[in-house]
Structure formats: C-alpha cells, structure tokens
Structure 1
Amino acid sequence: MAVATNVSEYGVVFPPEPGLTPAEIIARAEAIAPTLVARQAETEERTFYAPDTHEEFLKAGFYRILVPRRYGGYEFGIDTFLRVVMALTRGCPSTGWMYCLGHAHALMAASLFDERAQAEFFEAGDFICPATVMPSGTVERTPDGDWLLNGTWNYCSGSPYATHFIGHTLVSPAEGEPPAPMLFVAPRSQWRRLNDWGGQLGLKGSGSHSIVMENGLVPARYTLPTHVSQVTVNEGTPGRDLHDNPLYGGGQLSFMVIEDAVLAVGMALGALDAYEELMRTRTTAFPPTMTRAEAPDYQFWYGEAAGMIATGEAAIMNAVQQWAETTAKGAPAVTKEQEMRIAAICHEVVKLCWHAVENYLFPTAGSSAVRQGQRIERVWRDMSMFHSHAGFAVFLSTIAKRELAKAHFGIADEH
C-alpha cells in the first residue's frame, strides 16, 4: 500500500474533529476522570485499562493530541496533553500512567524523524507508543541496510493498545569499536507483548508489560544512532522544519521528566479528593465528636497537603510554560542548562506531592481508609512504586542535579 509521503501531492489529512479545541479536549478528560475511580480495582486486576475505556479515549481524540495536523492529529501542544494526563491520573493513577507513557512519544517521533518515516508512523492518525531507555536485545544488519532485532524490553508502559514501540539496543559503529546506543521505532507487527505485569507494589494497572522481538524487522529510517537522553535539539530538528512548529523542536529529555512530575501531581490530587470525602463523612475518634471538616487538626492536615500539592501543580505548569517559551525562541535556546533546570523543578514537584501524601494524607486518613483497595492506600502504593522508577530514583534525584551544575559552570564531561 502506498504511503502519503508528499504533502503537496496527497494533501493534509484532517483529524476527525477539525474544530476541536484544547479546552474541549481537556474538559472531556475531566468528565471521564471521575468514572475511572470506581474501576481502579478492575484495572489493577486486568493490568491495563479496559477496552471500552480505550475506545472512549479514541473517540475523545486523546491519542491524536501530539500528532501533527498534517497526519490527522490535533497538534495541541504539551500543555493540553499534560492537562489531560493530570485529569486522568487524578481519577486512576494506573490509567493516567498508561495513557501518558503510551501517547507522549508521539512528540519524539514527530520531532526526530524525517518526513517519510513520520508519514508511516502516523498513517493511522492515532499513535500509542511505549518507550524504554535501557538498551537490550541483539541486532544484525540485513543485506539492504535495515535491522533485525531479537530480545526482550521490560517496563513498556502503554503496550496493550500500542501501535508502535520505541526502544534502544547497542550497535558497534564500526568493526572493532565499542557498542553505542541505537534508538529504534518498531511497528506493532514486529513484536509481541508478554503477560508479565501486575505483581508489583503499585501501578498494577499501568500496562507496563514486557515486549519481545523475534527477528523483528526495523527499517533503517526508523532508527537513530543515539540514546534519547543524549539527544540535542539546539541545532534544529526534522520535525521543527517539517511542521513549522517549535513544538517539534523542544527538549526531549526535559519533556520526559515533565511527564513524571505531572503524573505525581495527578496522583496526589486523587489522594486529596479521597481525603476530602473522609473529611465530609467521618467523625473524630476522640471527643468532642464532630466531622473531620470541623476539627482543627484535620483542617490543618488537609490545608497543609492541599497547599503542597497546589504548589507542585503551579511549579510544573510553569515548567511547561518555560519549555514552550524556550522552544519558541529558536533551537539554540534549548540548552542543556535549561533542560536540567526544568528537570530540577520536576524533582521538587514530585517530592512535594509525595510528602503531602506520605506525611499528611496517608497517616491521618485512618486505618480503615488505608485497607487494601481503598483509594488513598492505592495512591500510596502507586507513589511508592513511582519512587523505584529510574527516571525519578536515578535521573531526577541525582544525575540531573549534577548535570545542571556542570552545564552552568561549563564543566565538560570527563568521557
């Protein structure tokens, strides 16, 4: 089947709702989010959100938010996408995580690859593509220059409904040279998903299954000789030129860690919602008996947590604004120092949200409210699991801080 790679010849593909606005798509997410709360247990048991939820997301346009308009997407920008993520995560952390890490990588695909590859990636309009950063598997070159991959890639959040997969493997640039990372995009036809998720402490319904490739064929045009954490965009990107939109020329690493912080805010807001319900319906354990909403101690605990979470939300949305404003200034403005400054903000946002839940909401909710399956208990598990994610535990907590200082003082890497 021929693929439309020449826009002037084939014309732009219009999205299903050409007049849809960012405000409308965010409102759809905010309307769907409350319906996800009662389905949290079944989502965890299934290990991914339900097929009818997936269909609802398709109909709402959620998988087209970051897809370029010329391929039938909405090209709304990361602020709209992240508001949708925050709303869905507030309703169900697993669902928000799976959706976020499934659709977010449309930005990477639309930024870093050439026109032909993009036309093929986005041919169906909707784009769901988990990604992992740990290189894995083995690879060999085909006679025509493409690649055959074999191996297993773990923690592929969003894999149950995925259309593609972005992974890394190691390739020797030339005979005798040490192997270096290669980023690749594999179509759904070239891999299979394992049923190996759900036994973890939290995020049991995030669809973070492993992906297996057995002689999976990846065209050379679907690969880049780099690791996503090493991508620099300050000299421009194919996507920025192709779509004439700075959205597709922004920092890839800083966008990835912004996702982490938005997910943390969404989770904490869900815990605060559950705590508010307890405030309205539960009474104090010791006299004088009154609703928790009337009790000074509970008022303080709620207010302290609410303030911390609101601060986290304000900080991350400012970071989103910084990301967009930086890209709008032009490719040279997207420096490593600016990327690491945004990463440092993201780390503080996650810490604020975690402390709000860990120090105030979870311990004062009461033992009956933190039984297995209760909403606050689930958020506590999910945020605890979050802390084991390499993006937070390794990169944001340690590497990003050092890299920010090195970039600011002009200290080069030793290797």
Structure 2
Amino acid sequence: MFRLTDLREILRYVPRFRDRVFVIAIDGAIVEDDNFHNLLLDIALLRSLSVRVALVHGAAFQIERYAKMTDVTPSDLVGTGVTDAATLQVAITAANRVTHEILEGLSANDLRGACPNALVAHPAGILGGVDHLFTGRVERVDAFLIQTLLERDIIPVIPPIGCDGAGRSYRLNSDAVAVELAKTLNAVKLVFLCVEGGVRTQDEMIRQMTVEEAESFLKKNRQTMPPGTVTKLSHAVRAGKEGVERIHIIDGREQEGLLGEVFSNEGIGTLIYTNEYQAIRLAQKKDVRAVFTLIQQGIKAEELVKRTRTDLERQIGEYFVFEVDRNPVACGALHMYPDQNKAELASVYVDTRYENQGIGGKLLAYAESLARSRGVGVLFCLSTQAINYFIQRGGFQLGTPDDLPPVRREIYEKNGRRSQVLIKPLT
C-alpha cells in the first residue's frame, strides 16, 4: 500500500503537476463514506503542492434517500434516463445538500471553495422515441469563470445540475459533467472516485489500459460488468478520445487511495491513458541511479551478475530503460561484439511491482530490433533462471559456451555461474 512517508515517490511527480489541473469526480456515496474526511486531506495536500483542483460530484445515493423520505419514486437515479418534474426537485435538493457538505469539508481543511453556475445545459430531448423531460446535456462550460476561481486559489465545486439561457434547470450525469470540465480546463488528470474501485476481470484488477484497449474491453464485457463500472469506463474512453491524457478510476473509500493513485507508478485503481504512458528508450546519464537500483534488485534475487556503479556509469550508453509515466521500472543492455558480428542481451530486469505485465517481452523485442538495426548477425544471452522464458517468448535456442565471443567466454569461465548460453540468429 502507498505510504505518505515515501516522499521520493511524491517529489518525482510534483514538478510535472505544478499549476496543472486535476478534475476529481466524487460519487455521492463517497461523500457519505467515513473516508471522505481523508479525501479532503488529500485534496488539501494537492493544493499545498500547487496542483489546481476542480471537484464534480454526483448525488444518486442522496437522491434515492431523499426520494424515500418524500414518497417520490425517482424516474432515474443517474441522470441518463427520464427525469420527471418530481425527480428533478428531489435531485436539486439532494445535489444542493451534497455541495454544501463538500464546502463544509473544504472549510474545515482551510480550503476555499465555491459553487459557480458554470454549466450551461440543454434538454437531452427525445431519445429512442422517449422524451427525457428534465434530463439534460452539457452545452458548454464557462471556462473563464472556472479559471478565475482556480487562479484565486478557490476550488470550484460543480453539482450535476445545469441551467439553460432561460434559467430552466436540468439533471445531468456527473460523470459526463466531469469529462466536459476536464476537456475545458485541459486537465492533466481526470479522477473518478467511486465504490467500484476500478475495472476488474474475474481474477484481478486491471491496472492500466490504453483508450483503445479500454474500448475493446468495454465492448466485450459490457453485459457482465457492474453498471457503475460500465458508466465510468464509457466516460473514461470518451475523455481519452477527446483529449484528456490520464483518466483514473479508483475506490474512494480506500484510505490514501487518491494519493496512492496520483503519486505512485503502479497506482491502486485502473488508469486509462492516451499518450506515451509507457515507453522504451536508450538510457542516459540521468538514469544511472534508477538503473543501478534495478540491477541491485536483480542481484539480490540472483538473477543478474554483480555490477558496480562505476561500471554502469561507464557503460550507460549500452543500456535501455522501460518507463512508466517517465519513471524507469525495467532495464536491459545490448553489449556489442563487432569482430564476431554478435551482441549480448544482458541485465534484463523488471521491477517486481510490474511483473506479469508483458514488459519483459517488450524489452526483448526492443533489443532485437536495436541489434538488427546495427547489422548484428547473432544475438545471445546468458541465464540461470529465465531459460524457458527466453526460449518460449524470445525465440532463443540453447547454445554452448563455444558460441560466445572469446572475450565474453573468458569472463564466463571466470565467474563460475555456469549460466545457460542462449542464441538467436538474426540473419
């Protein structure tokens, strides 16, 4: 679990997020949860780091409760179906109460907040032959008003209610509002705080997906996914397609969940991303520390041969790194032996937090492509524990010490590890 004491992890992200906007969408059920107080503390920390925050909230949980108190049968709870006049009045009452609770919480944490009339809405109209009455859609967001509040260190709190030019009110879906707000503010992150806690398969949480992967997953699994997850993932896909780079779906009831998602590579929920969240590149001098740390982990696990930091500094140009959100989480090296037209794939290691995510295969493919581009005839590697992996995933075949270049053969004989030699012809 993420720990607030991991300041190095936090500080790595702070320069990138300073003066950028996070749009945080909070389901009404989360506002009622015991962890809501902790979420406000997390938001206060974000503000102290000069991250600008805009809040959007839902009210389905409260609408259902108020409807029971007033003997109203709501025609819709989430703002996508038909909203009749009675449901609209309940929705306005419930949303106003949630807004007030959030503003109270912000005040208790020495934060200023305001609820602006920044949403211009219009009727959803007749859909599928059904008049949706007082259900609306966001026509536009008053960007100037929201930006003015943010620039004055005031947190906008946006309810799922909008008005048209004549002053008529319409019920809105809060997730859709959050997407529109994130687009308008050019937000660097859109965070959905909900009870679903991310997108799951039958066995595990999906930690990261591209927008394309998320859309495909949604099409294949829509019928078996919880309705709340379908809604969140649908809006995440739309946000990604329309320019929001990072969309997070996390459990708002988990203590330190918001900070754990924002300030750690692996996160605690599901991240939907659009740009180069993951990338492989050649290592640079600035990567020496990160690569050395990775190699040390491999040495402790007896997967890699010991290398000193001095050795690494001298050879850093032969290494490559796999980044997650610009932080190296895996590495490898390609050592050239031009006299024999061979190259060694070495120092392949993936941080244990990122195992079983296909990163190793990407490193192998990158190294092979790099070797081919340099005209290498044979790629070889040595392994004591990952022999089957290199054969099955990398297409290597068993070799012998005789396949090694003379210089490398000498080192092989001296270290006494008796590693298995694996080769892969590239011509």
Shorter-chain TM-score bucket reads under 0.3
| Higher-strand-fraction structure | 2
Greater RCO, 1 or 2 (C-alpha within 8 Å, sep 6+): 1
TM-score of the aligned structures, taking structure 1 as reference length? 0.24
TM-score of the aligned structures, taking structure 2 as reference length? 0.23
| Higher-helix-fraction structure | 1
